[in-house]
A and B are shown apart, each in its own frame.
Chain A
Amino acid sequence: MNVPVTLRVVALALMCAALPAHAQRAPLTAADLPAKLSPNVRQVIARLGDSLRAERLPDEPLYAKAAEGVLKGAAETRILGAVRALARNLGEARDALGSGADAADLVAGASALHEGATPAMLIQLRDAHRGAGAREPSLATPLVALVDLLARHVPAATAASAIDALVARRAPSEDFAALRAGVAQDIFAGQTPEAAVTQRMRNIEARPRP
C-alpha cells in the first residue's frame, strides 16, 4: 500500500500520543465489572471488594476474576462462587504470609491455597524465604512455581518441599522456571508428577549453590 509520507508521520504522532494513555491503565474497580453480569451479582461483588479494601487487601483481583468468568462463559452462580473463594483465600494468604506481603504475593498465595496448599505450607515457605535472605523480596515467583506444580497434580507436600529447597538455596528465578518446565516435560513423557519433581530436584541439588 502506498501511504503518503505525511500521512505516515501523522499516524505515528497519533500513535505516540496514544501509547502513554494505554500504558497508564487505571486499576480495575467495581465500575469495571462486565455489564453482562446482573445488577445483583455486581452489587455482591462490589460489597466483597469494599470489605477487602477495608481490611487492606487488594480488591482488584475480584473484578478481574469476574471478568474472566464472563469471558469464559461461566454462569453467574459459578462466577460468584469463584469470587467469594478468592476473597476468602486472599484473607488466609495474608494471615499466612504476614502483613508485609504485597498484592502479588497475596494473590499467588491465594492461588496456592486454592490449589491445595495449606496455610502451614505458606508459613513454612515464608520462613524459608526470610531465613535464606532471598535475592528477591517478593515471594511471588516461588508461589507461582508451587501453584504450577500443584496444577500438574504433584502432591502438595512434595511440591512445597521442592519449592522450600529452592528458596533455601537462594535459587534465581531461572531455577524455578527450569523446575516447572522440566517437570511438565517429564510428565508429558510419562513420568508420574511426584517422580518428575524428585528427579528434577535431585539434578538441581547436585549443582553447586548459586
Chain B
Amino acid sequence: MMSHHETGHEHDVDARPLGRAITDLREPVPVRAEWRASLLHRVAALPIPSPQEPVARVWRFRPLAMAAAGLVCALAGAGATALFFTVRSNRFAATDDLATLTSSMPLPGERSGHPPVRFVFVAPYASRVALVGDFNAWNPSATPMRRSPDGRAWLIDVPLAPGRHVYSFVVDGDLAADPAAPRSGDDDFGMPSSVVVVGDRGPRT
C-alpha cells in the first residue's frame, strides 16, 4: 500500500485550497455597526485600574543575609573543588594502583621538615626489593620499595634527617650496594654498603 507522503504530486493539489482558506481567514470579520458601538461603549465604562506598585525593587543592606550568602557561596565552591579532585583521583587510580596514588600526596618528609630522598635500584627481574639502613635499624621488612611504572626499577622516597646514612638494598633476599652511591667504607661484614649524606636541602652525595 502506498503511503500518503510517497508522492509530491498530492501536495501541489492540496496547496491551492489551503492558501485560499488562509486568505479568507485574514479578512476582517464583518460585524454590525451597532454591535461595535455597544462594545466600545462598555469598554469605556469600565473603571480605570489604580497604579501598580513600583516594579523596581528597593535594595536594603542586610549584613546577616549577606554573610549567609557568602558562606553558601564558599561552601558551594569548596564542594565543587572537592568534587573536581575526587573525579581526578578516581581517574588516576583507575590507571594505576593505590600505592602509586600515594606518590601524589605530600611526602612525610615534607611534613616533618626533612627533605625526602629518592632511592632507586634497577632490577627488572627482581620480585621484591627493600631498602635497609641505619635509618630503619636494618630491618628488611620496614621499607619495601615499589616497582616503577615501566617495571625496570624499584624506588622509594624516604625522609631522612640531615647527616650521613649507610644503606643497602635487599633484592629477593640478597644484599646489594647502590652502584650509583659512594661506598660506606666501614664494611666490617664482607658485604659492601652505600652511603648518602643529606644536607638541609636534600642529598649532597
Chain A residues packing against B (C-beta within 8 Å): 1, 3, 5, 8, 11-12, 15-16, 19-20, 22-25, 28, 32, 34, 60-61, 63-65, 67-74, 78-79, 81-82, 85-86, 102-104, 107-108, 110-112, 114-115, 136, 138, 140-141, 144-145, 147-148, 150-152, 173, 176-177, 180
* Chain B positions 128 through 141: 1 when the CB is less than 8 Å from some CB of chain A, otherwise 0: 00001011111110
Out of A5, A15, A145, name the residue touching B182 (CB < 8 Å).
A145
**Does B164 contact A144, Cβ atoms closer than 8 Å?**
yes
Out of B112, B163, B186, B199, name the residue touching A111 (CB < 8 Å).
B186
- Does any Cβ of A come within 8 Å of B145's Cβ? no
**Does A147 contact B134, Cβ atoms closer than 8 Å?**
no
Residues of B within 8 A of A69 (CB): 188-189
Residues of B within 8 A of A102 (CB): 163
**Does A23 contact B186, Cβ atoms closer than 8 Å?**
no
Once A15-B102, A64-B166, A78-B188 are accepted as A-B contacts, the answer to whether A23 and B182 lie under 8 Å apart by CB is no
- A102 to B162 Cα, complex, angstroms: 11
What is the distance, in angstroms, from B135's C-beta to the closest C-beta of chain A?
Answer: 7
Residues of B within 8 A of A24 (CB): 112
5 tightest Cβ-Cβ pairs between the two chains A and B:
A64-B134, A82-B188, A23-B108, A148-B182, A147-B185
Once A22-B108, A23-B111 are accepted as A-B contacts, the answer to whether A11 and B205 lie under 8 Å apart by CB is no
* Residue of A with least CB distance to B134: A64
Once A69-B188, A72-B189, A147-B182 are accepted as A-B contacts, the answer to whether A173 and B108 lie under 8 Å apart by CB is no
- A20 to B199 Cα, complex, angstroms: 20
Which of B86, B102, B139, B186 has the largest number of chain A CB atoms within 10 A?
A: B186
**Does B112 contact A74, Cβ atoms closer than 8 Å?**
no
- A20 to B110 Cα, complex, angstroms: 10
* Residue of A with least CB distance to B167: A68
- Does any Cβ of A come within 8 Å of B120's Cβ? no
- Of residues 139 through 167 on chain B, the ones whose CB sits less than 8 Å from some CB of chain A are 139-140, 159, 162-164, 166
Residues of B within 8 A of A85 (CB): 188
- A141 to B135 Cα, complex, angstroms: 18
**Does A64 contact B138, Cβ atoms closer than 8 Å?**
yes
What is the distance, in angstroms, from B172's C-beta to the closest C-beta of chain A?
Answer: 15
What is the distance, in angstroms, from B79's C-beta to the closest C-beta of chain A?
Answer: 15
**Does B205 contact A176, Cβ atoms closer than 8 Å?**
yes
- A177 to B199 Cα, complex, angstroms: 14
- A73 to B126 Cα, complex, angstroms: 22
- Does any Cβ of A come within 8 Å of B47's Cβ? no
What is the distance, in angstroms, from B198's C-beta to the closest C-beta of chain A?
Answer: 8
16 A-B pairs (CB sep. < 8 Å): A5-B86, A11-B98, A12-B101, A23-B108, A23-B111, A23-B114, A69-B188, A71-B175, A72-B190, A85-B188, A136-B204, A140-B197, A144-B197, A147-B186, A151-B185, A152-B183
Given A8-B93, A114-B186, A151-B182, 14 extra CB contacts under 8 A: A3-B93, A12-B105, A20-B111, A60-B134, A65-B186, A72-B175, A82-B189, A144-B182, A147-B184, A147-B186, A148-B183, A152-B183, A173-B204, A180-B182
